[in-house]
Amino acid sequence: MPPDAVSPTHPVLPPSRFRLWHIAVIFAEIVVLAFGWGFLAALLYFDYIPLPNYLANLIHRFPSELTLVVTLIATMLTVATTLLFTTAIKDALRHRMSQPISLITLATGIALTKGAHMLKWSHPRLTVLTWFVYAVLTSLTAGWTTLLAPTLIDVHVKMSGTELDVSGPAFSNLLGQELAGAAIEIRDNSFEIIDIGGILSGITAAGITFGLPGIFNFNGAKYNLSTGGIVPAISSYAGSVDIADQTRLSFDGGQVLVDVQTESDRLHSKIPSGFSTNYTLFQQGLTANVTCVALNPNDSSDPGQLSLTNPYISLPVRNSDSSIAFYLRQWNSTANCVGGSPTIQSYVTQTNASDQPNLSGSGFLPSVACPGANSDAYQRFIIVSQGFYRYDFLPPTVCEITPLLTNVTVMYSGGLINIAQVISSRQFVSDNANLLRFISGVMSWQARNAQGLMGNSIGDSLFAIYSSTSNKSITNNTAQVYDELEDYWRGIVEFTATFLRSGFSANGSFPQNQIPTNMTAKVTGNMLVSTVGWAQRAPTYLLAAIPVTTAAVLTFVAIGYSVRGRMKHDQAVSSFDISDPLHLIMATSAGSLALKGFERGGLSQNEGTTVRLEEMDNDMLGLVQDGHNPKTDGT
């Protein structure tokens, strides 16, 4: 049959370069490819794509159903991609069979139309080709599943705002006005807040020495181990929502104002609520460097050149029959502070009817606060302590307390506030003199009021924490006791700063609830929302897109080959499907190929036989050996 003849029985493809079928396949493949790469482009642009909250909650409740749905969608896309590829390969192979083709090449083409592979080590390139295509097609489902499956993602949202700045001269002046004319620095109901809060903050912080966990609660907010001298900057962690009755130095609890918000995002107009929300903020804090050592008044190098004396007088308390019930001892603990100026604190303890203390059941632990030297009076202060009776594990001790203004990393997670890291710190300067005055006043008040008739809360705390974590005698481990005492005082300093910030940040502390701009410090950080969706994971998603892209490229190559064949006027019979075993058997039978048998070497010889698809005299299609004319040879 001439090359340009058209058989009425077996129609060949029309002579135009592109058929509607080609356009349909190309369009469908472009749609599939654009869907995959468009999704990746959206992730690169938006960084993350969260699902709506109701869908995220639904998926969080039914993860197995999500896997089923995503796998079904991925399977359908895989079937569509594979169908487009194999259909393009069939058409290309029809054009190829109009020219001589070896049987091994034909077998390779048949394997490709089925998305299968073959293993012929004598033809490594063809073997590798089928295995490559097989790997691409079989990995399509994994690729689509990776692209389409939403996972738990963390959405990062920037935050910024302001908080009370206690480090500047403006606040120092305001604090000085509040303290002016006051006999003491603690007022009204804040007595109870400072009393209980100070003790608990010290106890919680002292446990750090032994690695004990602890949560300190103040004003409804929960702190991990200690407050770090901050005020909560997140509304949901700020604690009490009640309007404060008293503010500033009279603060006794209530709502603390928060001025930190999420920053606007041009790419994401709505922030998902998610399953959990954590915050990491950079805030201003306040802590103290505390160093406790044994007091040696005879050592001129000792801090402050201090001494502590504890004289007392005993006063009998009589029964109704004039017999002595017990004695009260009035102590005048005197610390000779810097420059020889004495500081005196009075205590009252109780002894038995013989004026003898119960050595194991009662204790006395005086603590006297002294200012620092004149050169650094606004930077540090000193507390001198000594334990008696059951607190005799604490020898005469001097603790030097140097408050520090800090910049800290604060983590808000699971309802708990944690001071994760101190980024920087600095000592007080002259502008902070009033701040030191308040802190030292609270510390002195705590030291004085810790002592009761029979015991001392500081001594009891040190002993209880040590005894619960060590089986060694506390008397022989003064270094560990000093570590405890340092953390105890540091915890009270940090709590005092948090109390002060809370009082001046309370609702009603300033007109219109606006902290003056000269008393504000900048707060920055991030909100981390855990939800379900897609986040930018470039290596993973790019790997997942490889099989999808490769399958599309192979499809385009196959269509290009078909178009090239049509441009060369190759006769491709549209009714012949090489992937159909029945079509292949009919064509082989009609062509009467003279092939070797299954004897040794027969298969290898057959692989090199070249054939072509021809129309026979009986109007049947047949595979004939190249060089044979079925019409003239009579085969």
Residue 188 has pLDDT above 60, yes or no: no
| Sole residue written with tokens 């004289």 | 311
Position 610 pLDDT exceeds 60: yes
Within its chain, how far is the Cα of 305 from the centroid?
Answer: 50
How many other β-carbons are positioned within 10 Å of the β-carbon of residue 540?
Answer: 11
Please name the residue that has the structure tokens 């001269």: 169
Strand ranges inside 177-275, DSSP E: 215-218, 221-224, 259-262
Contact present, 532 and 59 (Cβ < 8 Å): yes
Is 70 exceeded by the pLDDT of residue 183? no
**Residue 608 confidence (pLDDT):** 55
The H-or-E segment that residue 398 falls in is strand 397-413
Strand partners, 406: 285, 425
- Confidence bin at 502 (pLDDT 50/70/90): very high
Asked if 504 and 416 touch (Cβ cutoff 8 Å), the reply is no
What integer pLDDT is reported at residue 338 of this predicted model? 67
Of 46, 344, 580, 564, which is closest to residue 572 (Cα–Cα)?
Answer: 564
pLDDT tens, residue by residue, 443-469? 988 888 899 999 999 999 999 999 888
Beta bridge partners of 285: 406
Range name among 86-90, 160-164, 281-285, 593-597 with the lowest pLDDT average: 593-597
DSSP of 44-106: HHHSEEEPPHHHHHHHHH-HHHHHHHHHHHHHHHHHHHHHHHHHHHHHHHHHHTTS-EEHHHH
How are the residues of the chain apportioned to helix, strand and coil, as percentages rounded to the nearest 5? 40, 25, 35
List phi, psi (to 5°) of 355: 60, 35
**Is 192:451 a contact under the CB 8 Å cutoff?**
no
Mean pLDDT of all residues in the chain?
81
In sequence order, what are the residues at sequence separation of 6 or more whose Cβ sits closer than 8 angstroms to the Cβ of residue 569?
Answer: 3, 4, 15
Gap between the Cα atoms of 330 and 613, Å rounded: 121
Element (H, E) at 426: strand 416-427
Report the pLDDT value the prediction gives residue 585, as an integer from 0 to 100: 60
Largest CA-CA distance found in the chain, in angstroms, rounded: 150
Q: What pLDDT, on the 0 to 100 scale, is given for residue 594?
A: 62
CA dihedral 601, 603, 607, 611 (to 10 degrees): 120
Residue 442 has pLDDT above 80, yes or no: yes
Where is average pLDDT lowest: 72-86, 270-284, 374-388, 470-484?
374-388
What pLDDT is recorded for position 527? 92
End-to-end CA separation in angstroms for the chain: 15
Q: Count other Cβ atoms within 10 Å, centred on residue 282.
A: 18
Say yes or no to pLDDT of 3 above 50. Answer: no
Q: How far is CA 400 from the centre of its chain?
A: 38
Among 41, 90, 201, CA closest to 536: 41
